[in-house]
Structure 1
Amino acid sequence: MRDDRRFAVAPMIDWTDRHCRYFHRQLMRSGQVYTEMIVADAVLRGDRGRLLGFDPIEHPVVLQLGGSDAEKLAEAAAIGAAFGYDEINLNVGCPSDRVQSGTFGACLMRTPDVVERAVAAMKTAVKISVTVKCRIGVDDQEPRDVLPDFLDRMVGAGADAVWIHARKAWLNGLSPKENRTIPPLDYPLVYDMKARHPDVFIGINGGIVTMDEAVSHLEHVDGVMMGRAAYQTPAVLAEVGHRLFGDKEQPIDWRALRDRMMEYAAGELAKGARLSQVTRHMVGLFNGHSGARRYRQILSTEATRPGAGPEVIERAFEAVELEAQPA
């Protein structure tokens, strides 16, 4: 077993934008944050500052790319490296209609040779790590037959790490939302892949909700990636440092967090952003606390009003201040 264990917040389309990553980094000092999947063509032709810009506090931050053309992916990876990203990740797991129409994402599980060429090209184009995030299989594939070959190809192409979402993706018959919950999880298969490649970084993703579960998985694999639970109950990220990396346990300083997010929001508003673009990622912060409902109401309604400013964040925190915040 390698000793470079990692924790990461999974890339999630429409969720893990730069405002979300900034907020998550206030709670989690250790571990990686990921961009949403950005299609290589968009990187090559689009507004790179808008698509790729990030705050230095986000480091270590990973750029996840989507696509299937090795040359375009290599060029996009080089652009990402020049922007300062710490790692480039190739999406081979997203089952959305968008990726199916573009024959990338989870569709690529059917064409491992295409992924192999893409990874090799990206490795040639950049000096930073190139990694892959995949499923255990798609549709009628038998995961125990296809995943070992896929993993062997990724290792042979030079992938520095492979993150495996421990569910099959059904591209025909299930919606993207259903693909996150209905196909059964097969954690033992991912553990077996790690046993086959003890010197290769293998991380696990899918259905991981608590730090207890994360700790348990790290007995078998090198990394744990948490998705929806990290977004919907972000306070769990404050446990990462001491539960997984041996950092000193420290309670969340709610007032300091409030002040940092107010300052950040003010800066973004000055650049033309809307308050709701920042606060929508903060709605689940106090889940489980008395006053959380009122907190959510304030952020969900007042932050969307024209002219809403950082004081909305202050009002929202006040709704839970007596029960939730330290004296």
Structure 2
Amino acid sequence: MSIDALAAARRFSVAPMLDWTTPQCRRIHRILCPQALLYSEMVTTGAIIFGDAARYLKHSGDMPCALQLGGGKADELAKASAIAQTFAYAEINLNVGCPSDRVQNNRIGACLMAEPRLVAQCLKAMQKESDVPVTVKHRLGIDEQNERQVIDFVDCLASESDCRVFIVHARKAWLQGLSPKDNRDIPPLNYELVYELKQRFPELHIVINGGINSIAEAKQHLQAVDGVMLGRAAYQEPRLLLEAAELFGCEIPIIESVLAALEVLLTKALDNRERLSDYTRHLLGLFNGQVGAKQFRRILSEEARSVEAGIEIWHKALAAVFSKKLC
């Protein structure tokens, strides 16, 4: 994928989310928004180097897709990046934003913001082993840090590595006292500081993340930064992915064509002996706010979980929505 095409895709992206942005989820999101850049779940360097790399890295039907790595040792990140080379990701991203205790204990995630030069070394090591862009996702700071220190953090990484893409979650992370869930909501948002990063470093590609819940909000942010990344909102309200077409100057796809493509995807998955629920669990919010949506969710939540569930369950769920529209 060309650098220009990848930069265009970054205009709208879906955040890496543990247990949510699975390969099955990304295939669905690719149907809903052909233009977006999608991200894998975070994969640790240990899982790739010492585990079954193909299990964690194999993907199809979701390009362009970025791989997010979790790690804090330059040599291990380099090895993992080298292995990932063979799996055709469009980008490799370093997680410097996750605040969970589990990753902190392994020197992964937001705790690395305290060591910008180490992060720069990690990025350089990854770049040496990768033919695709290496990017970073980070917070505005951690714990008692002054948020404005993020300016020095970005400056350090940009000057000491060739990293040119910064995905900024517009909140600090509190490593003690707040759960990962609370860290997504309680620390206040500071969008203006992310805008200032773009003003100070116009040569860098700045993507804003955190608390963005609509395409209208995304359009506002795009007046100040290069891209927007949505997380939970895009996952829980899949129709936002349809509306994101407007960010690329495209028409919103009609639901009939989307459902036809989903039918093909689900049928192929079932033919390959995959479980229906591995896909449909990512579609529960597709008709949120519409008549029949509650029954649609119930059918998929309860009946698609059976190992015997076939395409007829999907048809039954759709009928709960569309039969009511026809009444």
| TM-score between both structures, scaled by the size of structure 1 | 0.93
Counterpart contact for 2:244–2:252, Cα < 8 Å = no
Counterpart contact for 1:27–1:252, Cα < 8 Å = no
Q: How does 1:148-227 map to 2 (within 5 A)?
A: 148-156=151-159, 157-227=161-231
Q: For residues 175 and 270 of structure 2, what CA distance do their matches in structure 1 show?
A: 40
Q: For residues 257 and 250 of structure 1, what CA distance do their matches in structure 2 show?
A: 10
Encode CA deviations 1:185-208: one digit per residue, 9 max, x unaligned.
Answer: 000010111111001101100000
Q: For residues 251 and 29 of structure 1, what CA distance do their matches in structure 2 show?
A: 10
**Is structure 2 residue 37 aligned with structure 1 residue 36?**
no
2:255 corresponds to: 253
Counterpart contact for 1:258–1:317, Cα < 8 Å = no
Counterpart contact for 2:117–2:157, Cα < 8 Å = no
5+ residue gaps, structure 2, are none
2:95 corresponds to: 91
Counterpart contact for 1:32–1:60, Cα < 8 Å = yes
Q: How many equivalent residue pairs?
A: 319
Matched residue of 2:176: which SS? coil
Change (3 A) 1:323 1:33: farther
Q: For residues 76 and 305 of structure 1, what CA distance do their matches in structure 2 show?
A: 36
1:183 shift after superposition: 0.4
1:53 corresponds to: 58
Q: How does 1:1-327 map to 2 (within 5 A)?
A: 4=8, 6-55=11-60, 57-144=61-148, 146-156=149-159, 157-241=161-245, 243-247=246-250, 249-254=251-256, 256-322=257-323
Counterpart contact for 1:107–1:138, Cα < 8 Å = yes
Specify the code of the residue in structure 2 equivalent to 1:40.
Answer: T
Matched residue of 2:281: which SS? helix
Q: For residues 222 and 215 of structure 2, what CA distance do their matches in structure 1 show?
A: 11
Q: For residues 18 and 215 of structure 1, what CA distance do their matches in structure 2 show?
A: 28
Q: For residues 20 and 127 of structure 1, what CA distance do their matches in structure 2 show?
A: 26
Q: For residues 307 and 89 of structure 2, what CA distance do their matches in structure 1 show?
A: 34
Q: For residues 259 and 310 of structure 1, what CA distance do their matches in structure 2 show?
A: 13
Encode CA deviations 1:160-206: one digit per residue, 9 max, x unaligned.
Answer: 30000001011100011000100000000101111110011011000
Specify the code of the residue in structure 1 equivalent to 2:121.
Answer: R
Matched residue of 1:35: which SS? strand
Please identify runs of 4+ aligned residues in structure 1 that moved more than 6 A: none
Encode CA deviations 1:71-94: one digit per residue, 9 max, x unaligned.
Answer: 111121122222100000000001
1:324 shift after superposition: 5.9
Matched residue of 1:65: which SS? strand
Q: For residues 92 and 139 of structure 1, what CA distance do their matches in structure 2 show?
A: 14
Change (3 A) 1:171 1:203: same
Specify the code of the residue in structure 2 equivalent to 1:235.
Answer: R
**Cα RMSD, aligned residues only:** 1.7
| TM-score between both structures, scaled by the size of structure 2 | 0.93
Aligned-pair identity (%): 48
1:277 shift after superposition: 1.2
1:271 shift after superposition: 4.0
Q: For residues 273 and 144 of structure 2, what CA distance do their matches in structure 1 show?
A: 48
Specify the code of the residue in structure 1 equivalent to 2:185.
Answer: T
Q: For residues 71 and 273 of structure 2, what CA distance do their matches in structure 1 show?
A: 31
Specify the code of the residue in structure 2 equivalent to 1:299.
Answer: L
Q: For residues 47 and 147 of structure 1, what CA distance do their matches in structure 2 show?
A: 36
Q: For residues 107 and 271 of structure 1, what CA distance do their matches in structure 2 show?
A: 41
Q: For residues 30 and 261 of structure 2, what CA distance do their matches in structure 1 show?
A: 11
